[in-house]
Amino acid sequence: MGIRFGTSGWRAVIADEFTFEKVRLVSNAICSYLKSSPGHTNDTIVVGHDSRFMGERFTDVASEIAMNKGFKVLKCTGPTPTPTVSHAIRNNRAAGGINFTASHNPPEYQGIKFSTADGAPALPEITEQIEKLIEERAEVPDEDSGSKEDFDPRPDYLDDLKTKIRFDRIAAAKGSYAYDALWGTGRGYLDKVLRDNGLEVETLHDWRDVTFEGMSPEPGSKQLKGLCKTVIEKNLTLGLATDGDGDRFGVVDSDGRIIEPNYLIAILSDYLYESRGWKEGLARSVATTHLVDRVAEYRGIELHETPVGFKFIGELINKDQIILGGEESAGLSIKGHYPEKDGLLACLLAAEAVAERQASLTEQLAELTAKVGDLKSGRIGVQLTDEVAASLKDKLSREPTEIGGRKIDNVNRMDGVKFIFSDSSWMLMRPSGTEPLVRIYAETEDENDLENLLNEGRRYLLD
């Protein structure tokens, strides 16, 4: 099987597809791409890893290859969040970064994410070139000018966060927090920066466990049960969580309720417009709630829709066209930040919004939906079996006029196929870029109808 970059890099099962041989191939191809890029002048590269099995060893291999190709390698010391790698690339004016991470995937996975000089995940036109170089076994000659040094990116990253977050407002509110690191890279980052500002933080799962207790290190309802319990029992202001590589967020309100990513994106979109006075637009992926559209309309600003994959939102961040861009899979970034998801930033913004508005997130959501209306969204996954894969292209290329008795008003093929129905509800079907699944997303104004809509999507795909 060839090496293919998906929504966020190349991921595969360790010792099956993800091997030292293939790590060498990918690392060589990335170095070859950088050396042959038009206008290439910078030979600094950042190399890092998350807390997964063998991360250090894979990082050593990639660092050695890059050094032998003439790069100055800044090798991150210890497990490092993806947004911290992004900041390090920009802060050190590096040509790019190689990050060993499989993000929220199950523990048997590893991955490589390549980021360009702007700190953003590489766009498809770049990863396609890298894939071609891998197939061709392309290599640039070795050079003697390379070097390698251990590099701690944490202090500069945390200092930068202090310019984006109003810690004085959070500290003045004197809240108390729990942080679930989910055995990932956020430990020693999010909890540290809150404590540095005089706040009480209880940290959960802040040790390395490459099995993640047999779960995916994703801040979902299953993984956050302990955080919810801690928030309720200790009467805390918020529970905060990040995934394995720190680019996704999870937030638990003071009553133990998990605030869905779609809702938090909408709340923070409105909060930033109100608190910062920014007038740029908002961005969401095609799979993300249309509640963001309603916030944009209410505030009189532009709405941008992108394919799934934060690299597309990152382009809008780089162009300074948006206040906030978010994805329903718990990723967001904001104006003036990096073109990469940052779960630590999202958690801190949630804490700031609660402190500044002196209202819980549930109260803020109720106030927002009273103005713009509520929407209920959800998603399910259908295993991409050989049978499903064989019929998938045909199913997604059809042009039905209705599904389950619902009239289709519009079909959006930006990424997968999105059916928009006459009652403004919608359904999206697209193959996952990170797992062997077909994702079915749906949104409707009626919570009781949401399950029906998702089931209709499943039947459409499998019948």
| CA dist., res. 340 & res. 346, Å (int) | 12
| CA dist., res. 295 & res. 289, Å (int) | 11
CA max distance for the chain: 68
Ranges under pLDDT 70 in the chain: 1, 39, 434
**What's the pLDDT score for residue 226?**
97
Which pTM was predicted? 0.94
* Helical residues (DSSP H) of 17-173, grouped into ranges: 20-36, 55-68, 82-91, 124-135, 154-161, 167-173
**What's the pLDDT score for residue 361?**
98
What tens digit of pLDDT does each residue of 408-417 get?
A: 999 999 999 9
**What's the pLDDT score for residue 1?**
52
* Domains of the chain in sequence order: 10-153 (3.40.120.10), 158-258 (3.40.120.10), 376-462 (3.30.310.50)
**What's the pLDDT score for residue 72?**
97
* Helical residues (DSSP H) of 325-416, grouped into ranges: 343-357, 361-372, 386-397
Name 73's Cβ contacts closer than 8 Å, sequence gap at least 6: 45, 47, 63, 66, 67, 146, 147, 148, 149
What tens digit of pLDDT does each residue of 207-262 get?
A: 999 999 999 999 999 999 999 999 999 999 999 999 999 999 999 999 999 999 99
**What's the pLDDT score for residue 39?**
67
**What's the pLDDT score for residue 140?**
82
CA dist 181 → 203, 249, 253, 408 (Å): 7, 10, 17, 43
Place of tokens 């106030």: 367
Q: Are 69 and 146 in contact (CB under 8 A)?
A: yes
Give the closest residue to 241 by CA, choosing from 253, 225, 224: 224
Q: Are 272 and 333 in contact (CB under 8 A)?
A: no
Place of tokens 């990152």: 314
DSSP letters for 229-265: HHHHHTT-SEEEEE-TTS-SEEEE-TTS-EE-HHHHH
User: Which structure tokens are listed for 451?
Assistant: 């399950």
SS3 label, residue 138: coil
